[in-house]
Structure 1
Amino acid sequence: MSLVERIKKLCDEKKVSFAEVERSTGISNGQIRRWDKSSPKIDNVTKVANYFDVSTDYLLGRTDEKRYYDLTEKDERDIEKDLERIINSAESDCGLASFDGKVLDEMDEEDRDLYISSLKNALRMHKRLAKKKFTPKKYR
């Protein structure tokens, strides 16, 4: 997929036109469409990447990950392990309480599922924020 095709896909997802992207980023009118035939300036590619909150490597087709801080399969496995460890610890210690004061063992199935999904979501958010904050600039 070419640079222009990737930008077109991102425009479709965000429901904006090339003209809107060009106005918002300060790129001259019609410039993005010309990138199929000519090489763009790196500053302009960076502006478009920042506009869509994606990496320049994604725009250039070097990777399929839109953002460096998106979770990988390994991250998801780590989150599952952490979640399992937390749940096992809560069940054995009876120290983890729900919002209404019940221990994990005393919750009905619906509350337990909701509580576990909340924990998983919190772990995913924490992992994403940590990647965003602590990834060195040379790997972004």
Structure 2
Amino acid sequence: MPLYTAIKEVAREQNKSIYRIEHDLKIGNGTIGRWNTALPRYDLLQAVADYLGVTPQYLMHLSQAKEKE
């Protein structure tokens, strides 16, 4: 699963949208969506992880674990 999908899954569990995350963190609209095909800057990934109450490693692990299923 791409990193974007992992973030979306965690956000959905918390009733948060990708748009809300981007808006609250003041990152560009569509930035997280581009993480479907590209790796994010670490500072942005850290900010998103903090916002969701998880670690960047958790998000990366989740995205890799789902790929293996």
Structure 1 partner of 2:44: 44
Structure 2 spans left out of the alignment, 5+ residues: none
Aligned residue pair count = 64
Task: Output the amino acid matched with 1:27.
Answer: I
The gaps in structure 1 that reach 5 residues or longer are 65-140
Identity of aligned residues (%): 33
Q: Relative CO higher for 1 or 2, CA cutoff 8 Å, sep ≥ 6?
A: 2
- State the match for 1:17 in structure 2: 17
Partner of 1:96: none
Asked whether the 8 Å contact 1:3–1:61 carries over to 2, the reply is no
Q: Greater Rg, structure 1 or structure 2?
A: 1
Structure-1-length-normalised TM-score: 0.42
Tell me, yes or no, if structure 1 residue 31 matches structure 2 residue 15: no
The alignment's C-alpha RMSD in Å is: 1.9
Distance 2:61 2:4 in 1: 10
